[in-house]
């Protein structure tokens, strides 16, 4: 499938299907569309009338056109209210168009959508993202190919000019999102700490990244007792992955740290039936997005040095398992009383954050499928965000808004740390039930001393049960686009 920008308009383009976007309650035919309607013998206006098409967000309509016209089918998509129009509107509209075109077995598709902020390049980039992400299908584990194979060969973005660079940029970003999706979607017998490290190795070899993989002995030498406490019960060795994108003369230096539990049984505090244990293959959603961001950033080549850190392991049960009540010592010397072995992600992140800060970076962002409490608070579509630096927090929120990924800033209420205090160690790894996502963030805060830091709890949005927007049912690749956009902002 090839996406191309073109100077062709709705009047000069011809092909299988033409897609048009309209704002809510503004479904009026411009002069060009009136001429097009005349050429199509009134089919456009007829479709608007018969479908009662009002341009509401996600409203769609499609019809076949007589064979004598320049196009065989017309597709209409609603863009919603004009005051809410933005880059994410274009991506979602493009996703709707892509799915309709696939359903109708369209081979050549022309898309005519309004420009965002009069920027042809950003418009082309947003539309391309929506198309690519909506059309991505993961059939690796099926014995037979999908019956409805993609027929689309060419998609023309009308009235935007060539836009090769913008479209290529979107393809690169989407390649990272798709990598994250496929890592998160894969079962725990396919993505293990070992194969996770192999993916990092392939990224390093393909895109010229630096790679260090710390084995168990290396982690022991660095005093990573918190990470290794979680890893003890698994028959598979832990892998501490440090990928680095290092451009010449970087203007900034940042770290992205992703929780990388390739499977979480809960440990001796085992997850019972009905607890969602069968979905715990996606507990490496933060790490998957971290490697996805690495793939995209390595291709985009911004003048920003980026360290990608994943402490990969399983949380399993065996005679070697960490016990409730054990005390672990993290690599910064702080001691942790383990009162719940199912709060293991924060234990792996503790040593990863200490490692990241020792790199002398300007900012650290960690992302993790950390707490069910965050889903209770914000639902499945919105991730929580905690930060120690207002400027860094605003950067992440701005990046997320520009790509249409949703975050909500949450409080680092220091008083709540009282619930984590231990009589026999510096802290416990879990606090009371109330405010669980906040106390989890406060736990992580103990392992970053001075560096500006943001914690993203992405437990809800890394997976969706229903197709919506640019996401198909399953793993979403959230929040690769936000991370990439944030890094690109550092160069501005």
Which residues belong to the active site? 271, 346
Measure the CA–CA gap between 406 and 424, rounded to whole angstroms: 39
Cβ proximity of 207 and 298 under 8 Å: yes
For residue 379, give both structure tokens.
């639902």
For residue 84, give both structure tokens.
């809410």
In degrees, rounded to 5, the angle at the alpha carbon of residue 293 between the alpha carbons of residues 287 and 294 is 90
């Amino acid at each position: 499938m090839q996406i191309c920008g073109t100077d062709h308009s709705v009047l000069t383009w011809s092909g299988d299907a033409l897609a048009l976007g309209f704002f809510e309650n503004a479904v009026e035919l411009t002069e060009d569309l009136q001429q097009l309607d005349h050429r199509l013998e009134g089919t456009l206006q007829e479709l608007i009338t018969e479908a009662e098409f009002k341009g509401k967000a996600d409203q769609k309509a499609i019809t076949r056109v007589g064979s004598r016209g320049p196009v065989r089918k017309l597709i209409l998509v609603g863009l919603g209210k004009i005051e809410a129009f933005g880059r994410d509107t274009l991506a979602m509209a493009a996703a709707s168009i892509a799915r309709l075109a696939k359903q109708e077995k369209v081979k050549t598709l022309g898309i005519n959508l309004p420009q965002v902020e009069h920027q042809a390049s950003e418009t082309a980039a947003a539309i391309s993202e929506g198309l690519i992400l909506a059309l991505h299908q993961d059939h690796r584990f099926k014995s037979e190919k999908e019956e409805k194979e993609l027929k689309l060969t060419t998609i023309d973005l009308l009235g935007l000019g060539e836009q090769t660079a913008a479209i290529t940029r979107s393809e690169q970003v989407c390649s990272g999102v798709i990598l994250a999706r496929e890592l998160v979607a894969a079962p725990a017998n396919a993505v293990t700490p070992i194969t996770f490290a192999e993916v990092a190795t392939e990224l390093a070899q393909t895109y010229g990244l630096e790679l260090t993989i710390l084995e168990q002995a290396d982690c022991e030498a660095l005093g990573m007792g918190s990470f290794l406490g979680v890893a003890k019960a698994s028959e598979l060795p832990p892998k501490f992955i440090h990928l680095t994108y290092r451009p010449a003369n970087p203007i900034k230096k940042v770290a992205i740290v992703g929780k990388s539990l390739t499977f979480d049984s809960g440990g001796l505090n085992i997850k019972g039936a009905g607890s969602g244990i069968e979905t715990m293959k996606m507990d490496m959603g933060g790490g998957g997005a971290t490697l996805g961001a690495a793939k995209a950033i390595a291709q985009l080549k911004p003048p920003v040095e980026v360290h990608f850190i994943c402490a990969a392991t399983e949380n399993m049960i065996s005679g070697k398992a960490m016990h409730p009540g054990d005390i672990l010592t993290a690599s910064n010397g702080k001691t942790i009383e383990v009162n719940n072995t199912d709060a293991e992600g924060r234990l792996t992140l503790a040593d990863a954050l200490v490692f990241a800060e020792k790199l002398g970076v300007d900012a650290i962002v960690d992302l993790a499928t950390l707490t069910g409490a965050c889903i209770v608070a914000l639902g499945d579509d919105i991730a929580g965000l905690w930060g120690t630096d207002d400027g860094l927090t605003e950067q992440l929120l701005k990046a997320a808004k520009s790509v249409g990924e949703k975050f909500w800033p949450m409080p680092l209420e220091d008083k709540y740390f009282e619930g984590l205090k231990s009589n026999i160690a510096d802290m416990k790894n879990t606090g009371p039930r109330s405010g669980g996502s906040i106390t989890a963030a406060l736990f992580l805060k103990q392992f970053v001393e001075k560096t500006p830091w943001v914690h993203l709890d992405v437990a809800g949005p890394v997976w969706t049960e229903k197709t919506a927007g640019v996401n198909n049912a399953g793993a979403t690749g959230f929040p690769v686009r936000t991370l990439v956009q944030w890094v690109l902002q550092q160069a501005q």
